[in-house]
Amino acid sequence: MNQLSQLIDIAKKNNASDLHLESSFQPVIRIRGRLKPIGSVIKSEQLLSMAKDLLGPDRWNIFLNKRSFDLSKSISGVRCRINVFQSYRGVSFSIRLLSATVNTLKSCNLHPCLKNFIQSETGLIIVSGPTGCGKSTTLSAFIEEINSTRSAHIITIENPIEYTFTPKKAFIRQREVGLSTPSFEQALLDSMREDPDVLVVGEMRSPETMRLTLNAAETGHLVFATMHSASSAEAINRLSSSFPHETHRACMAQLADCLIGVICQKLYYLKDHKILVPVCEVLVANNGIRAVIRMAETSKILSLLQTSAQDGCWTFDRYQRWAEEQKQWVMPKKITYCVSDDEQLQSAIIEPQAIASKPSQKTYFSTQDNTDIVEIEPFDEDLEAVIREIETKKIKK
């Protein structure tokens, strides 16, 4: 994994949040939300070797069957969330570089009112938003706030584990799907016999996970869960659509009774401070919101958010205005200068000297000498044969 370590080290030195590796392309890093290629083209056999070294024999066999594998690992001194997957060109990597610092709501630059959510002893709190908006970071901040303030037994169910916690006032157990439990569903069933005070569900994807999460929140536990959605109303709708038709009304009543709130976030760039901060839509389950959830009238949620500021609700617009008015922010320990054009950004990139000396010609799919474009079937049964075919099979340009 020497080459992978070098690439991650380069991404770390550039203060990048993500590293993407694709066969026959340059490595790409993401800095302040912008993608930038670095170095030279990585060949398919290099990525194949990296994947085999990283996964090991057992995980490699799983990868060959599923064509993807998620894991977290510390590489080159950086905790990374890694997705290895097969793309049209062969083995690919998508790597998120995780902060080693302990997150709190303050260090995440979230509004102080969100601390009110951790005062509850039971109920469901949903953290939602699009991919890459910082849901996992916000979730870790909630866990650390409880860890610092309450004597509680916390069980997390994650795929994979991204942030590791050192118990302070709380007692924390972390379970990783695929390693310490076969599924979210099994871990949720197990947790009911493990005396938790707080449950953290890394992501609600399947209807069964949603149902079991809701049951856990109703049976006397404080439950945090994440899901993908663009708004609080959409998060409620996704939960609603997972319920069978014959039990829909009862499940919506159950959700209305146990829901504490929904935090839907996205990232917003503050030009004056040159940082990205979360901007949130915050739904606090007051009587009016519980009533529309119980009646499955989620189209009324936005208007209730606009009129329920006194209860702690925020719309995206009002939260953004608050963010723009703030003068004091917790700045990242290492700040990459954010620039406005590609030439300036290129000058700020630390290029990988030890890996490649000069970029190769960009092609969609090339052979070893970078002269011939080749073509393979995207779902070939033998992935290793696909990789070998890159170097042997030629077609007309």
State mean pLDDT over 310-315. 95
Q: Which of 128, 168, 125 has its CA nearest to residue 147? A: 168
Confidence of residue 73 (pLDDT cuts 50, 70, 90): confident
In a domain, 331, yes or no: no
Name the one residue in this structure whose structure tokens are 């938003």.
129
Q: What gap in Å lies between CA 229 and CA 387, rounded to an integer? A: 36
Over the stretch 256-265, which tens digit does the pLDDT of each residue have? Answer: 999 999 999 9
Over the stretch 356-395, which tens digit does the pLDDT of each residue have? Answer: 433 333 333 333 333 333 333 333 334 555 445 544 554 4
Give the pLDDT of residue 231.
94
Give the pLDDT of residue 357.
36
Domain-terminating residue out of 266, 291, 325? 325
Q: Which of 371, 395, 319 has its CA nearest to residue 41? A: 371
Residues 219 and 285 in one domain: yes
Give the pLDDT of residue 215.
92
Q: What gap in Å lies between CA 155 and CA 199, rounded to an integer? A: 5
Q: What are phi and psi of 327, to 5 degrees?
A: -105, -25
Confidence of residue 128 (pLDDT cuts 50, 70, 90): very high
Q: Is the pLDDT of residue 310 over 90?
A: yes
Question: What sign results for the dihedral spanned by CA atoms 157, 163, 167, 169?
Answer: negative
Q: Is the pLDDT of residue 396 over 60?
A: no
The residues, any chain, with a CB within 8 Å of residue 74's CB and separated by 6 or more, are: 80
What pTM was computed for the model? 0.74
Cis peptide before 278 (omega within 30 of 0): no
List the single range of 9-13, 257-261, 322-326, 334-338 with lowest mean pLDDT: 334-338
Over the stretch 102-122, which tens digit does the pLDDT of each residue have? Answer: 789 999 999 999 999 999 999
Give the pLDDT of residue 389.
56
Task: Please state the domain count of the chain.
Answer: 2
Give the pLDDT of residue 232.
94
State mean pLDDT over 145-150. 94
Over the stretch 275-293, which tens digit does the pLDDT of each residue have? Answer: 889 999 999 999 999 999 9
Give the 3-state secondary structure of residue 248.
helix
Task: Let me know the angle formed at the C-alpha of 164 by 158 and 166, rounded to the nearest 5 degrees.
Answer: 130
Q: What gap in Å lies between CA 336 and CA 341, rounded to an integer? A: 14
Residues 148 and 125 in one domain: yes
Question: What sign results for the dihedral spanned by CA atoms 192, 196, 197, 202?
Answer: negative
Residues 312 and 356 in one domain: no
Q: What are phi and psi of 66, to 5 degrees?
A: -90, -15
Give the pLDDT of residue 279.
96
Which residues does residue 265 pair with via DSSP β-bridges, in sequence order?
280
Give the pLDDT of residue 300.
94
Over the stretch 32-70, which tens digit does the pLDDT of each residue have? Answer: 778 999 888 999 999 999 999 999 998 999 999 999 998
Give the pLDDT of residue 99.
73
Residues 78 and 146 in one domain: no
Q: What gap in Å lies between CA 280 and CA 129, rounded to an integer? A: 9
Distances (CA, A) of 1 to 6, 26, 28, 76, 238: 9, 18, 18, 10, 40
Give the pLDDT of residue 274.
83
Confidence of residue 354 (pLDDT cuts 50, 70, 90): very low
Give the pLDDT of residue 160.
81
Residues 129 and 78 in one domain: no
Over the stretch 4-33, which tens digit does the pLDDT of each residue have? Answer: 999 999 998 888 989 999 999 999 999 877
Q: Are 190 and 181 in contact (CB under 8 A)?
A: yes
CATH number at residue 209: 3.40.50.300
Residues 15 and 59 in one domain: yes
Contacts 24+ apart (CB under 8 A), 376-382: 376/88, 376/90, 378/87, 378/88, 379/67
Residues 273 and 153 in one domain: yes
Q: Is the pLDDT of residue 201 over 70?
A: yes
**Residue of higher predicted confidence among 179 and 50:** 50
Task: Let me know the angle formed at the C-alpha of 103 by 102 and 108, rounded to the nearest 5 degrees.
Answer: 150
Number of residues that make up the chain: 397
In a domain, 106, yes or no: no
Confidence of residue 178 (pLDDT cuts 50, 70, 90): confident
- The distance between the two most distant Cα atoms of the chain, rounded to a whole number of Å, is 68
Q: Average model confidence (pLDDT) for the chain?
A: 83
Give the pLDDT of residue 76.
85
Q: Is the pLDDT of residue 143 over 90?
A: yes
The residues, any chain, with a CB within 8 Å of residue 60's CB and separated by 6 or more, are: 51, 52
Give the pLDDT of residue 248.
87
Residues 318 and 386 in one domain: no
Residues 194 and 270 in one domain: yes
CATH number at residue 18: 3.30.450.90
Give the pLDDT of residue 333.
62
Residues 280 and 193 in one domain: yes
Q: Provide the domain limits for residue 59.
A: 2-99+337-392
Domain-terminating residue out of 300, 325, 350? 325
Q: Is the pLDDT of residue 337 over 70?
A: no
